[in-house]
Structure 1
Amino acid sequence: MDTTSAALRLINWDLAAGTAAKLAGAGPKLTSTQIAQVVADLRIKADASVEHVYRITHLEAARDLRDSEVLVVDRAGWAHANVQGFEAMLGPALRRLAEIKGDKAVESVSALGRAVTGTEMGAILAFLASKVLGQYDPFAPLLRPGIPAGGRLLLVAPNIVEIERELAVDADDFRLWVCLHEQTHRVQFAAAPWLREHLRDNVAELVASMMGGNDSASLLERIRDAARSLGEAPSVEGSGPGDTGGLLAKIQGPEEKAILSHVTAVMSLLEGHANVVMDGIDASVVPTVRTIRQRFGGRGKSRGAIEKWFRKLLGLDAKMRQYSDGQAFVNQVVAEIGMEGFNAVWEKAENLPTEHELHHPSDWVRRMSGAPADAGL
């Protein structure tokens, strides 16, 4: 087996998907008739939400989303889809690892095989599969033929039903509210077709750099520890003030730090923008939206399960602020130059905000206008 092939097989993805399906559980009990009704209703809500996303964002990409698809899935289906997404996203990083390390890549792959097996990855996915309400996956088409080029939006039906029951909120309103957030992500990537490769390249460079050092075993052990921590404390809220653990401790070089800073800013932007769309919906569209916001926010924002795991894994609780930073950025930019002015962010990678600009929106506005930033910032 050549080193590239070995690197691409570092995780048994089929085992991960099968393990997740077994461990995730089915969720709330529903009859076959109820399941069919929920699936049909979520599809209707997903379609209806696109018009509202267009009205708020003014993005022409929201007029027609034929390059992607909407899937209403159960927990096992979500896990299987994410196995494909992970494999597609990590592929370039693993190839780059093989190119950098040559024959030594096999040794690193063996170490990773001991540290993170398909079973452990499946356990992680099983935990997340019971929490996630929806997700937009732009990466799967890069690996699997037959998936629309624009990716796919996943709505996890049992989790949506479980949370709407737990919160005792209006089901129609809650489902539309959830779809608004997820469809916004779908529109973002449609408006910026370059964004998928841009993110993938940055993640590949960062992961390959972290895995390419001489201390691969230590790095991989951190992945294992982060995975196990989910089972011990599934309500991960963050590290203590002085905790800089996770994979962040491995990021030492200025180039790695710059990439992490950029990815942090981009992910905060995407989530913040989606939150702005959700907050742009009033009672004329979702009559009980105020109640939903209050009750959903009060349950610890479980919608961020994936974010919490990656923040735990990477040690980003010591680095990142809440995605509210992205929301504040969008709100201030829109207040200064309007939504059309803000939408320049989707035109090209150079228009994405830096992490500094994310916290100083006026600097981004000045840069887009060609004016110099304030001295000292």
Structure 2
Amino acid sequence: MNLYRSARAVAGASGDDAVDWRSAAEAAKAATDAGSLDLAPGEREAYARDVREARAGIRDVSGAAFDVPDTIEIQNRHHWIDANVATFERVMAPVENHTEVFPGVARTINTGTMTVLLSFLGRNVLGQYDPLLLADRPADDHALYFVRPNILNAAAALEVDPNRFRRWIAFHEVTHAAEFGAAPWLSDHLESRMEQGIDALADGNFDRATFRELDAAMTVVEGYAELLMDHAFDDEYEDLRRKLDARRQGRGPLQQLFRRLLGLGLKQRQYERGKNFFEHVVRIRDLETASRVWEQPETLPSHDELDSPETWVRRIER
């Protein structure tokens, strides 16, 4: 980690765009310890085995027709930053398209902000199956990402077996592969809503309806993943969830601020709200009914229906 090199990269931000993405990636990596990829014997195969067994278990309980990526990438933190900087750039493109030239000071500030965000996420992301990352790539050219140094650090901090923790992360990421495999339209649906919301922000407006729709869709994504985990994971994992939540709550003020700025508290709320929705649907109907959310965009529950599962069930059964 070299903070001087990081600051120098940000200060040297150039170009006409809102963010100098090359400098942001360079600065984020300079400010972040890459972590070790010195894999133990059999560790690479253990990751692949976890993914294969997660696929089999989730297929059995969900009945969803999906596959997992051929590539299982075991990354360090710098690999994760390099893999995701292009996603950040693409998501921010609507803002840049609305402003022709950014003054140097604003560009430097923006580049510094993205550096901090990339560095913070690079130190905390455990695994990834990201629909926005995959949206512009061929269907047979995508990967599951596991950030090994973060997985090992989290397992040690939580005082849990690292192999069991890694397996839990694998199951969670494969549940997302199942969702996007069952609903090929979902990636474009999410990205179009995000672009629409950012376009409005770039014009100085806040499109409340679009962001509510995006929040509802992401709540379904997170909640259904939790539902599948409950049915497919071949071990009790409530202790892992409880310890991970306690660790997040126990972080210092600066880390808590970053989590709020990044919307990670919102993501936790999406987990809980979505899980409650699907548990209720399964209780009054079954898992097959719950899986109907993926038939088409129109079968996704609305923001209000997430708090009234019976209303959603009546609508789709008409």
1:137 aligned residue: 130
Q: Provide the C-alpha distance between the structure 2 equivalents of 1:358 and 1:290, rounded to a whole number of angstroms.
A: 23
- Residue 350 of structure 1 and its aligned partner are, at CA, apart by 0.9
Preserved contact between residue 137 and residue 152 of structure 1 (Cα < 8 Å) = no
Matched, 1:21 2:23: no
The root-mean-square deviation of aligned C-alpha atoms, in Å, is: 3.1
Which residue in the other structure is 2:285 paired with?
337
Contact 1:346–1:352 (CA under 8 A) maintained in structure 2? yes
- In structure 2, how many angstroms separate the alpha carbons of the residues matched to 1:202 and 1:130? 28
**CA offsets 1:146-201 (integer angstroms, 9 cap, x no match):** x6457432111111111112222222222111111111111111111111111111
Q: Are 2:100 and 1:106 aligned?
A: yes
Q: How many residues align?
A: 300
Instruction: After superposition, give the CA deviation of every residue in 1:68-109 in whole Å (9 maximum; x if it has no partner).
Output: 643221111111111122233444x34xx74xx5xxx21468
Q: Secondary structure at the match of 1:353?
A: coil
Residue 59, structure 1, aligned to residue 64, structure 2: yes
SS of residue paired to 2:68: coil
Q: What is the correspondence of 1:104-253 to structure 2 with a 5 Å cutoff?
A: 105-107=99-101, 113-117=107-111, 119-143=112-136, 148-149=139-140, 151-213=142-204, 251=206
CA contact (8 A) 2:134 2:142 kept: yes
* Distance in 2 separating the partners of 1:315 and 1:281: 25
Q: What TM-score does the superposition give when structure 2 sets the normalisation length?
A: 0.82
The answer to whether the 8 A contact 2:51-2:171 is kept is yes
Residue in 1 that maps onto 2:77? 75
CA-CA distance at 1:309 after TM superposition: 5.0
Distance apart, 1:37 and its partner CA: 4.3
CA separation in 2, counterparts of 1:134 and 1:123? Answer: 20
Secondary structure of the residue that 2:125 maps to in structure 1?
coil
Deviation at 1:330, TM superposition (A): 1.1
Measure how far apart 1:311 and its partner are.
Answer: 4.8
Matching of residue 292 in structure 1 with residue 283 in structure 2: no
TM-aligned CA distance change 1:347 to 1:112, over 3 Å:
farther
CA deviations 1:20-77 (Å, max 9, x no partner) are: 22222134x67x353x64433222212221111112322122xx335x6432211111
How many angstroms apart in 1 are the aligned matches of 2:229 and 2:264? 28
Identical positions, percent:
29
Structure 2: gaps (5+ residues): 1-14
Aligned AA (2:86): Q
Contact 1:88 1:140 in 2 (8 A): no
Query: Partner of 1:244 in structure 2?
Result: none
Secondary structure of the residue aligned to 2:287 is: helix
TM-score normalised over the length of structure 1: 0.70
2:217 to 266, 272, 286: 266
- In 1, the alpha carbon distance for the partners of 2:309 and 2:77 equals 38
Task: Give the aligned partner of residue 10 of structure 2.
Answer: none
